[in-house]
Amino acid sequence: MSRSIPLFDRPLRQLLRRADTRRSRARSAVLTQNRIYILPSRQGWVFILLLTILALIGINYQNNLIQAVAFLLTALLLLSMLHTYANLAGLKVTALQAQDCFVGEKAAFELQLGRTTRRDYEHVELRLAGGEPLVTDLIDSEQQCLRLYLPAPRRGRLASGPLLIETLYPLGLLRAWSWVDIGLEALVYPQPKAGGCLPQAYEPADEGIGQLADGGDEFGGFERYQPGMPLQRLAWKAYARGLGIHAKSYPAARARHCWLDGAQWPELSVEARLSRLCHWALLLERQGELYGLRLPGVELAPAHGDRHRRKVLRALALYREGTT
């Protein structure tokens, strides 16, 4: 839709995308009869063949008991239709969120399966197109959070695609299914690959910070722990003594920063370069150093922390995404 508005293209698209993801976050669907399909399963067809054989034997030998068995199994088949349908009708699927991953890993999509009725739901199978099935029940609980995984072979955005909800309850003779578009999207970061040297782009920090940073690699005292601080910096001994969680500060570490530059390693392909940048970004983050990212069209100032890391990875994931 944004293609029709060439002006303000990028900001508008971002806005729309944000609106889109927000909408999809709250997106939920209740399975009703106009989206549930039901047909005999493969085993069901074999069962129908069995019924036919029994009926023929019953007729051939004029054996009413064998015919009664055939009728009983027919009744089970007919009833299965209702039970199978009832085992999907009234389920409510809510898309929660997607979890990003690296190429080669599996992206997780979180869903909530709830019910709008008071019936038990048993043996409900959920599967994303291209993913592994997950079997679950809703017997005593009102709802359940589930995680479905999709392999992420390529960098960029990974849409969850439609969700297949199916059930073979109670006897596996009939299969009821429904497709729900959950509209989640995960980011797939480049696969981190070690290689090259640490970028040589050390630059002196601002003077002010330099003052503060006096002390180099030396231990600079404790500071209050904040979520997101690297675990290596935690003062475990202090914690063990019952003094609460503190982090050791190394002011010098803050003093240096480096730039991860997409123009490095020109001999490598784009993907290989991104993989290497990703590796370094993760490493620097782990070591608690400041790092910035410079890609054509993107520049992220040196910083540190979970949020920064996510920003960097996102930029790496989406770099020139539209072109490939």
Partner 1 sequence: MNPYQLSRPALNWLLASIALVLLPLIGRVPGWLLALAAVCIAWRLLIHQGRLSYPHWSVRVLLLLGCSAGILVSFRGQIGVETAVALLVLGFLLKLLEMYQRRDALLVVYLAYLVAALALLFNQSIPLAIYQLVVLAVISTALRSVYQGSRVDGWRPLWQVLRLFGQALPITLVLFLLVPRVEPFWQLSWQQGNATTGLAEQVAPGDVARLTRSADRAFQARFDGTVPAQTQLYWRAMTLSQFDGRRWRLADGYRDQGTQQGPSAVGAAAAIERERAPLNYELILEPTGQRYMPSLALPVTFAGTLKRRQDGTLQLQNELLQRRQFALGSQLGRNLQDLPRPQDSALPQGSNPRSQAYARQLWQRSERNPQTYLQAILQLYHDRFSYTLRPPPLPGESVDQFLFDTRQGFCGHFASATAVLLRAVGIPARLVSGYQGGEWNPYEGYLTVRQYDAHAWLEAWLPPAGWVMVDPTAAVAPERVERSAEQLFARDEQFLADSPFSPMRWRGEWLNRLRMRWEAVNYSWQRWVLNYHQRQSGLFRDWLGANQLSRAVLLTTFLLGVLLALVACWLLRRNRPVPLHPCDRAFVRLQAQLAKRGLPRRPDESVSAFCQRLQQHYPEQSEQWRRLAEQYTRYRYAGEGSTEQLCVLIERCRRRLA
Q: With contacts defined by CB under 8 A, name the span among 66-74, 176-184, 254-262, 313-321 that binds partner 1.
A: 66-74
CA distance to 82, 118, 223, 237, 249, per residue, from 227 (Å): 52, 41, 12, 18, 15
By CB under 8 A, is residue 245 in contact with partner 1?
no
Count of residues of this chain found to bind partner 1 when the rule CB under 8 A is applied: 62
Which residue from 2, 35, 48, 71 is in contact with partner 1, where contact means CB under 8 A? Answer: 71
The contact pattern for partner 1, residues 126-165, with x = CB under 8 A and - = no contact, is -------xxxxx-x--x--x--------------------
Shortest distance, position 228 Cβ to partner 1, whole Å: 17
Coil, helix or strand at residue 297:
coil
Nearer to partner 1, 19 or 72 (CB): 72
By CB under 8 A, is residue 15 in contact with partner 1?
no
Nearer to partner 1, 51 or 312 (CB): 51
Q: Are 172 and 138 in contact (CB under 8 A)?
A: no
Shortest distance, position 179 Cβ to partner 1, whole Å: 20
The DSSP call for residue 88 is T
Nearer to partner 1, 124 or 290 (CB): 124
User: For the chain, how big is the Rg over CA atoms in Å?
Assistant: 29
Coil, helix or strand at residue 77:
helix
Nearer to partner 1, 63 or 232 (CB): 63
Nearer to partner 1, 122 or 271 (CB): 122
The phi, psi pair for 76, rounded to 5°, reads: -60, -40
Q: Are 120 and 50 in contact (CB under 8 A)?
A: no
Which residue from 15, 16, 39, 50 is in contact with partner 1, where contact means CB under 8 A? Answer: 50
By CB under 8 A, is residue 98 in contact with partner 1?
no
Q: How far, rounded to the nearest angstrom, does the alpha carbon of residue 176 sit from its chain's CA centroid? A: 26
Query: What's the CA gap between 219 and 212, in Å, rounded?
Result: 13
The DSSP call for residue 279 is H
Q: Are 29 and 93 in contact (CB under 8 A)?
A: yes
Q: How far, rounded to the nearest angstrom, does the alpha carbon of residue 149 sit from its chain's CA centroid? A: 6
Shortest distance, position 145 Cβ to partner 1, whole Å: 7
Nearer to partner 1, 139 or 198 (CB): 139
Which residue from 151, 161, 162, 170 is in contact with partner 1, where contact means CB under 8 A? Answer: 170
By CB under 8 A, is residue 178 in contact with partner 1?
no
Coil, helix or strand at residue 4:
helix
The phi, psi pair for 156, rounded to 5°, reads: 120, -155
By CB under 8 A, is residue 238 in contact with partner 1?
no
Bridge partners (DSSP) listed for residue 224: 246
Structure tokens at 195: 């290689």
Residue labelled with tokens 């009102």: 142
Q: With contacts defined by CB under 8 A, name the span among 52-60, 216-224, 225-233, 288-296 that binds partner 1.
A: 52-60
Shortest distance, position 16 Cβ to partner 1, whole Å: 19
Give ∠ CA 295-200-209 in degrees, rounded to 5.
85
By CB under 8 A, is residue 86 in contact with partner 1?
yes
Which residues of this chain interact with partner 1, rule CB under 8 A?
25-26, 28, 43, 46-47, 50, 53-54, 57, 59-76, 78-79, 82-83, 86, 89-90, 94, 96-97, 110, 112, 115-119, 122-125, 133-137, 139, 142, 145, 168-172
